[in-house]
Chains A and B, each alone.
Chain A
Amino acid sequence: MTVSSTLSRRALIGTALSAGAASLIGASTQSRAQAAGTVNFTAWSAAVDQVKSHIGAFENATKLKVNYENFPWAQYRTSVVTRLVGNAPMDVMWISDAWLPEFAEAQWLAAIDDVPELMKYNAEAATYCTQSMTYKGKQYGLSYYGDHMSFVCNTDIMQRAGIEKPPATWDEVVQASLKIKQAGIVEYPMLLALAIDTWLIEFVSAMVFSHGGRFVDPQGAPIMAEPGRGAIEAATWIRDAIHTHKILSPGAIETPDINALRAFGAGQHAFYIVPTYRLRALNDPSQATAAGKIRPVLMPRGPKATTSATCGWIRFYGMTPGAKANAARRANAVKFIEFFGGKDTTGAYRFQKLLLTDLGLPFCTMPLAADADVKAFWDKWAGGGDVIAQQASSAVKKDVIAPWFGEWNEMANAAWQSIFLNKATPEAATRAMAQKWNELRKG
């Protein structure tokens, strides 16, 4: 018994050691295989089903393996930064245009100017999208999707209030809202999601740009605190909408984008600023009771604005310098980015089209606009694609995107809210924002 037990123990230790050695050898082999035939793709948790399905198509077409991992949007930037700092294996990742300067300065993104397989797609991409992926003259990726803030109306509420055409200026929005309110149709006709979350800067930027304004001048100096430059006027409009005209609920201050979407879909408001990709959900009867009555119109203009400008943004595929430095990894990463952000092996913009038809995510690729399925999509979910195309053409990239954007935005979010709460004047709050901008700019 003793002998047997001793032998068993020896056998056990031997097996454990063998297993350990085998796993080490296996790991080493796997590591070599990773370099040879694997793409490490990091994304946030969006379009997961579509990404997985397209990864399957990519693996079949290229015989490469994809290690796909995703993190929630709210933690994505922090997760990716810590992984990059820790030299985790990453080849391709989704990037927001807001992080481009920060990531490029930290050398976490590789420029693709010397990758003709990817640069050739610029010829068919909207200029605004290409510009949004460019920092200090270098391009850093291919688009995942490109979108802009749309002004949408509930046509049913407008009809009931006897409003025949949608408001074209912010003054007309006030007048139309007051008419709806006085008719007792809804208490707060205007809807904005003004909670401190990642979308606040886009909502506010859309308002500022539609007032013909900007936050900074072309040299990067802050002009947000200067009267007549749009920021003060936009902030004043929102403050007055809440406190003077009472057409926008004070609850907007704690309403995040997703709650606002539900409220608008339920037919509780007449006017709303929303990312265009939400139109599909808003006009889907299974998700919104007001479906079919929600239509995009051009962004209302401020008194000094000459166009109906709005805020646009893009998300894109970026390659890590680590992947670019290794010939095999670079080749695989380029294939992956092209398959997803460009054309697949059949020569079609399949993934960009899939994202639109499945989820409503607009694209940067111009030729797709003429696609019959794409046209049918916009006809079904937005009453046509003309307004969307026209609005997209006047979308403006957020001019506050800089290496210090994240830190400035933290402060700015609180400052915007203090204006909306009537706790600070637009002049004082924007002055504080400009001061912070200058501090960060000086480094």
Chain B
Amino acid sequence: MSSVTDTALDRLGRRFGYDERSAAVLLLPVFIVLLAVAVFPIVYSFYTSLFDINLTRPWRRPFIGFDNYLRVFADPNFWIAVQRTTVYTVVTVAVTTVLAVVVALLLNEAFPGRRLLAALVLLPWATPSIVNGLMWKWIYNPGYGLLNGLLVQLGLIDRYKVWLGDPDITIYMIANAAVWKQMPLAAILILVTMKAIPEDLYKAAKVDGANVFQRFWHVTLPALKPGLMLVLVYETMISIRHFDLFLIMTQGGPGDASYTLSWQIYVETFRNLKFGIGAALSYILALATFGLSYLFIRGLGSRL
């Protein structure tokens, strides 16, 4: 037994040099920590999704295979949540990306106060999510909200509106709050890509008689692809899983107007205490996120 171990160690020693073995030993603690705090929870949550776990019935947790997934797909609430999540994600990502490009174009120009403006633009990004939610809830307040006050004073509406109590617009009002916070980082990411575009390309385009829009369309936009892809992937991942604003601003309401997938996961897991269903929903959301990210990367035909 001992000789077998020695031989194995010898083989290991011959295969990896001192440096590699030292590196392995030094990295081992990090590897163990990652295993414990990242890999194990991911694997265990999948394992959980295969059981009918309801904390209020602690004496039973039968293995049900993929039944939780089938139950989720058969639940009409899931499809409502998919619809709301899709609308929210598309609106948030599209508006954030377009605004980010516009702001990046502005910040790419040289003008007095540009650095100050760049710093100010970043402020919303630095605002904690909870603060952002509370702030916008106040702004939208139907009794004393800033938005109502402003629109009435401008003569655009004649009486205060219940922005978060109208199921037809609630999701857009929440998306607006999300865009306000997420746009600055997107703008900076695109600005960094923009700065890397060689000036020669613009000069050549000018020589060829391209106007400002043509230069943007044929020079800037293609060169922004890596930055845009990063923004699209990142913003999609953030938006599709967004939770904070829904918790603070609407709690899934009014009615089911803001009942998104992340809200459904919260309700099933922490209110209904159905951990099996909650884990299954989380896996579905994670797979959807990965799938969309993959499509963006394939669709834009570029590598990060």
Binding site for B on A (CB under 8 A): 78, 81-82, 84-85, 102, 105-107, 195-197, 249-254, 263, 403, 406-407, 410, 413-415, 417-418, 420-421, 423-424
Contact residues in A for B57 (Cβ distance below 8 Å): 105-106
Contact residues in B for A254 (Cβ distance below 8 Å): 142, 162, 164-165, 250, 253-254
Smallest CB–CB gap between B136 and chain A, Å? Answer: 13
Smallest CB–CB gap between B272 and chain A, Å? Answer: 5
Smallest CB–CB gap between B103 and chain A, Å? Answer: 31
Known: A78-B270, A254-B165. A249 touches B142 (CB 8 A): yes
Smallest CB–CB gap between B128 and chain A, Å? Answer: 18
Contact residues in B for A403 (Cβ distance below 8 Å): 56
| B11 on the A face (CB < 8 A) | no
Assess whether B251 is in contact with A195, with CB atoms less than 8 Å apart. Answer: yes
Assess whether B256 is in contact with A414, with CB atoms less than 8 Å apart. Answer: yes
Contact residues in A for B143 (Cβ distance below 8 Å): 249, 251, 263
Assess whether A251 is in contact with B253, with CB atoms less than 8 Å apart. Answer: no
Assess whether B272 is in contact with A407, with CB atoms less than 8 Å apart. Answer: yes
Kindly identify which residue among B56, B167, B259 contacts A421, using a CB–CB cutoff of 8 Å. B167
B residues 57-86 in Cβ contact with A at 8 Å: 57-59
Contact residues in A for B270 (Cβ distance below 8 Å): 78
Kindly identify which residue among A81, A105, A106, A197 contacts B251, using a CB–CB cutoff of 8 Å. A197
Known: A78-B270, A406-B272. A253 touches B259 (CB 8 A): no
Binding site for A on B (CB under 8 A): 55-59, 142-143, 160, 162, 164-167, 250-256, 259, 267, 270-273
Assess whether A414 is in contact with B56, with CB atoms less than 8 Å apart. Answer: no
Distance in angstroms between the alpha carbons of A361 and B94 in the assembled complex: 51
Contact residues in B for A424 (Cβ distance below 8 Å): 255
Distance in angstroms between the alpha carbons of A85 and B255 in the assembled complex: 32
Assess whether B55 is in contact with A85, with CB atoms less than 8 Å apart. Answer: yes
- Residue of B59, B251, B255 ringed by the most chain A CB atoms within 10 A: B255
Contact residues in B for A84 (Cβ distance below 8 Å): 58
Distance in angstroms between the alpha carbons of A254 and B251 in the assembled complex: 10
Contact residues in B for A82 (Cβ distance below 8 Å): 55
- Residue of A102, A197, A251, A403 ringed by the most chain B CB atoms within 10 A: A251
Assess whether A421 is in contact with B254, with CB atoms less than 8 Å apart. Answer: yes
Known: A106-B57, A254-B165. A414 touches B255 (CB 8 A): yes
Assess whether B273 is in contact with A414, with CB atoms less than 8 Å apart. Answer: no
Q: Apart from A81-B55, A81-B56, A417-B255, list 13 A-B contacts with CB within 8 A.
A: A78-B270, A78-B271, A106-B56, A249-B143, A250-B162, A250-B165, A251-B142, A253-B162, A253-B165, A253-B254, A407-B272, A414-B252, A414-B253
Known: A106-B57, A196-B252, A421-B167. A78 touches B273 (CB 8 A): yes
Assess whether A250 is in contact with B142, with CB atoms less than 8 Å apart. Answer: yes
Distance in angstroms between the alpha carbons of A253 and B170 in the assembled complex: 12
Kindly identify which residue among B55, B142, B162, B253 contacts A196, using a CB–CB cutoff of 8 Å. B253
List 15 A–B pairs whose Cβ atoms lie within 8 Å, in order of A's numbering.
Answer: A81-B273, A84-B58, A105-B56, A249-B162, A250-B162, A252-B165, A253-B254, A254-B165, A406-B273, A410-B272, A413-B253, A414-B252, A415-B255, A420-B254, A421-B166
For residue B267, which residue of chain A has the nearest CB?
A410
Contact residues in B for A106 (Cβ distance below 8 Å): 56-59
Smallest CB–CB gap between A424 and chain B, Å? Answer: 8
The 9 closest A-B pairs by CB, nearest first: A251-B142, A253-B165, A418-B255, A254-B165, A417-B255, A196-B251, A196-B253, A251-B162, A250-B162
Known: A81-B55, A250-B162, A410-B271. A417 touches B142 (CB 8 A): no
Contact residues in B for A81 (Cβ distance below 8 Å): 55-56, 273
Smallest CB–CB gap between B48 and chain A, Å? Answer: 13
Distance in angstroms between the alpha carbons of A195 and B256 in the assembled complex: 12
Contact residues in B for A423 (Cβ distance below 8 Å): 167, 255
Distance in angstroms between the alpha carbons of A295 and B166 in the assembled complex: 33
Contact residues in B for A85 (Cβ distance below 8 Å): 55, 58
